[in-house]
Structure 1
Amino acid sequence: MLSYQHLYHAGNAADVHKHAALASALAYLTRKPKPLSYIETHAGRGLYDLTAPEAVKTGEAAAGITRLRAAFPEAHPYLQALARNPDHYPGSPALAHALLRPTDTLHLAELHPQEHAHLRQNLRAPNVHVYKQNGLEMAQSLCPPTPRRGLMLVDPSYEVKTEYEVLPKFLSTLARKWNVGVLMLWYPILTSQPHTPMLADLKTRFPDALTHEVAFPPARDGHRMVGSGLFVVNPPYGLQTELAALSALFKKAA
C-alpha cells in the first residue's frame, strides 16, 4: 500500500524478531563459499534514522531495539549487522547486504516512490538490484533465480487485508518454481488475530515448514500489535535452535 512508510515503525519489536531470525539464516547460508540469491518483496528504504520525528512519535523503536539490544549475545550476527550501520537502523535489505558477500546477488522490490528513491540511494553496490515494482510480481518473474541457492523474505505491511488470503497461494507457486529456496514470510500478531486463517492455510500447504512466534507488550496504549510471527519454508539447518534462543531472549526481556 503506497501510504505505508516503515520509518514510523522501524526498529520495533517485530523488526527485532524478524531481523534477528534473518541474520541467523543468512549467517548459516554464507558458511558455504557458493554464492546465493537474496530476494525481498517489500524492501522499504533500507536504512532508518531512529531519531527522526516519525520514529520518535510512535515510540516503537524505544519499545523494540532500544529495549532489546542488550539482551543479545555479542557474537549474534544481528548485532554484527547493526555494528556495520552505526548511524542508522538497518532494515532487512541493509542487514542482508551487511551479512552477504560481493559474490551474492540481492534483488529488492519497493513500489512506494519515496521509499524506492531512498532505497536506491542507501544501497548502491554492483550486486544489488532495486526494482520499482510490485514485489510479488518481481519474485514471480525472477524465480528460480541465479544462483538457485538462496533466501526470499516476504514482509508486506498487511494494510491491504487481501494479502492474508493471497500469500499462501503465492508461496505455493514460488515453492514449486524454486524448490530449493528458503522462503521466509513475516506476519504481525494483532489483537484481532487476522493472521490465523492464513497460518492454517500455510500449514496445510507446507506441513514441514517452521513456524515461530514471539509475544511482546504493545508499544503504546491502544497499539494492536502484540506479537510477531515467521513462517519458513525449507528452513536452514539450525534455525529452529536459533529461534528457540530468540524466544528465550524475548521472554527474559518481557
Structure 2
Amino acid sequence: MTIRVVVADDQELVRSGFAMILDVQPDIEVVAEAGDGAEAVEAVRRHTPDVALLDIRMPRMDGIDACRAISEDGSCRTVMLTTFDSDEYVYEALHAGASGFLLKDVRRDDLVHAVRVVAQGDSLLAPSVARRLVEQYTRSAARPRHPDPRLDVLTGRERETLLLLARGLSNAEIARELTVSDHTVKTHVGNVLAKLGLRDRIQAVICAYETGLIAAGAAGAPPSGGGFPSGPSPASARN
C-alpha cells in the first residue's frame, strides 16, 4: 500500500528536499506541498493523505493550528518538524494531536522511517525533543518526590518498561535490556498504555516524568544528543 504524504514548510528548499527524499521511495507518494498551515489544511482536505509533515513555524497559519485542524478533520496523522529554537511549541503541538516530532536536520533514512511508522498508526519522538518536551511539560508542575500512586496499577515489569520508554528505547532495545522477547515487550507496552489511559509512547514519556518515576535531567532521561525515535509501538498503543 502506498503512503500518501503532504509536506508543508515555508522554506521552499527544505520543503522540496523532504518531498524529493520521500517521493523516490517505492511505498511513498508526496501528493502535495504547502507553504503555510492554511495551504496544508486545504491540501489534506483535497488529497486525503495518510501523513502530513508540518513545520511548526509557518506564516498565515502555523503548524500547530494546522495540526489541530487536520486532527479534528479526519484520519490523517501529523509529524511536526521542529528546531531547538521552536521547542516551546512542542507541548502545544502534542495537545493539538501530533503523532510525532522530528528535528529539521533529521537524516534521510530516519525521515523515511518516521513517515512509515506514523502511517502505521504509531508515534515517535526524537530523544532530544523528548527531553526538552518533558522538561517543559513538568517545569510548572510540582512533581512528587516518589512515584505517583497512579503507577500502582502497573506490575514491576510494566514499571520497568515505562522507565525504559522514558529513556527513549525502542522495543528491540527494551527486549535486550529486560532479556525478554520483542512480543513480550509489545505486550508490556500495550498494558502500560492501557492501564494508565495513555494514547501513545509520547504520552508515556511525559507520564514517567509527571509521576516522578524519572526526573528531568536524571541519568535515565532521554539523551540530549541527536538520536532518533523509538521503533514502532504495538497495535494496542495506537490512537
The structure with more strand, counted as a fraction of residues = 1
Please identify the structure whose Cα radius of gyration is greater: 2
With CA pairs under 8 Å and 6+ residues apart, which has the higher RCO, 1 or 2?
Answer: 1
The structure with more helix, counted as a fraction of residues = 2
Q: Is TM > 0.5 for Structure 1 vs Structure 2?
A: no
The normalised TM-score by structure 2 is 0.32
